[in-house]
Amino acid sequence: MTDHLTETEISLFRERTITPTDRERIDSHVAECESCLRRILPSEDSALVYSELMEALLPDSADEAFHLSNADARRYADGSVDEADRIIFESHLEICDQCSSVQSVIASPVVESVSASTRPNEIAAQPFAPAWSAAFRFTPARAVAGLLVVAGLVLAFVVWQRWSGRAVDQTAQKTSSQTPSNMPGSGSPTPTQKEATKEPNTDQVAAVASLADNGRKIQLDSEGRLVGLEELPEASRSLVRSVLTTKTLPKPEVLEKLTAPAITLMDPTARENMFGLLGPSGTVIATDRPNLRWQALAGATSYTVSVFDADFNLVTRSTPITVTQWTPPSLRRGMIYSWEVVAVRNGQEVRSPVAPAPRAQFKILEAEKAFELTKLKKQSPLSHLALGITYARFGLLAEAEGQLQILARENPNSPVATKLLRTVQEWRKR
């Protein structure tokens, strides 16, 4: 089996921003990989499918068990069965006293000396069962194997149904939003429709998007062909292709959970007893040991830092310190945390942040995404474009801004490079 899907591939697949070729490749992979299928499919869907399959395929306790026929018992005793049947027979004999006693009689030396004409009289009559019927009899092993095969097919079908349904809805919405502007009352073709009937311009095909990136040239034509990043993984190439095609950078959902609108206090004297937190706040960070920094409060003699989980439970707390930064012990990856600082001045506690200011929150990057970034940073030459938009997609805003600043300096006249940088800078202000 090939490597598992990356987080970027799963995100692109869910958002339907991948090419038909990438979609077919991912479809083929999830048809064979239950792990990646569970990551794409919501947990409630997979639980429902497995529940229905278990109820449909597992045998009822009232079902009548099968028995070995005389012919099967003799073939097993003579050692003339193949390996598969031998395993099936032995598994059955361990749980069936009736067939086990018959097999003991057949294998007895006394029975072997009896003529073939008397042998059927000494063995209890068994229902007639052709030899080929053994291949179709129920066994626990065969039930489990059948369950897994059918479960994989059904889950793949559910994913395909959901994807096709959403793709149709998105297409219908785009069509409905474009129809009023593209169909004047006269019914005559619009300028856009007339241009579509013209032959494509070869210069336009080659210049849909073009950027300098660390000494090389990245190009995307109107047919979606990306040139200049052939050494990158296909997931990273798909992400670059999507951003250059739309010329936009979608905001990660995690940032909405980590940020809140700023609140301005009406009383100007309230600022005298406040000090700000410098970060991290409203972002995702790559390390599991963040460096928490804050402004100094005039007259403060000590500071105590507390870190909480998403349910406001205390995770760790510092001892009173005099410096304005602190690094906590390792935190769990993939989790959201908030933090606060309590300063002591003139024997009184001054807390930051304090209501109505929002909580200072951050998220530790998941291990899978951290590994994907590590592989991307090892590429030579390094792509500031691919690394910058990957940082942005994962919510690491400071790192994304740094890479996109380098890209913008290499492309001072590129509207695309400028727009990507300004998008990330706007995210950081909120």
Q: What is the DSSP letter of 21?
A: H
Which tokens sit at 212?
């300098």
Residue range 385-408, pLDDT digits in tens: 999 999 999 999 999 999 999 999
CB hemisphere CA count around 312 (13 angstroms)? 1
Domains identified in the chain and CATH numbers: 7-60+144-178 (no CATH), 70-137 (no CATH), 272-364 (2.60.40.10)
Determine the Cα–Cα distance for residues 241 and 235; give it in Å rounded to an integer. 10
Which amino acid belongs to residue 272? E
Residue range 251-280, pLDDT digits in tens: 998 888 887 655 454 445 445 567 899 989
- Reply yes or no on whether the pLDDT at 298 is more than 70: yes
pTM: 0.53
By CB atoms closer than 10 A (0-12, 13-18, 19+), residue 264 is exposed
Residue range 3-31, pLDDT digits in tens: 788 888 887 777 767 777 777 788 778 77
Residue 349 CB contacts under 8 Å (≥ 6 apart), including other chains:
342, 343
CA distances from 405 to 164, 194, 385, 408, 423 (A): 38, 40, 10, 5, 12
pLDDT band of residue 429 (cuts 50, 70, 90) is confident
pLDDT band of residue 173 (cuts 50, 70, 90) is low
Are 151 and 53 contacting, i.e. CB atoms less than 8 angstroms apart? yes
Burial call 299-337: b when 16+ CB within 10 Å, e when fewer? ebeebbbbbbeeeeeebeeeeeeeebebebeebebeeeb
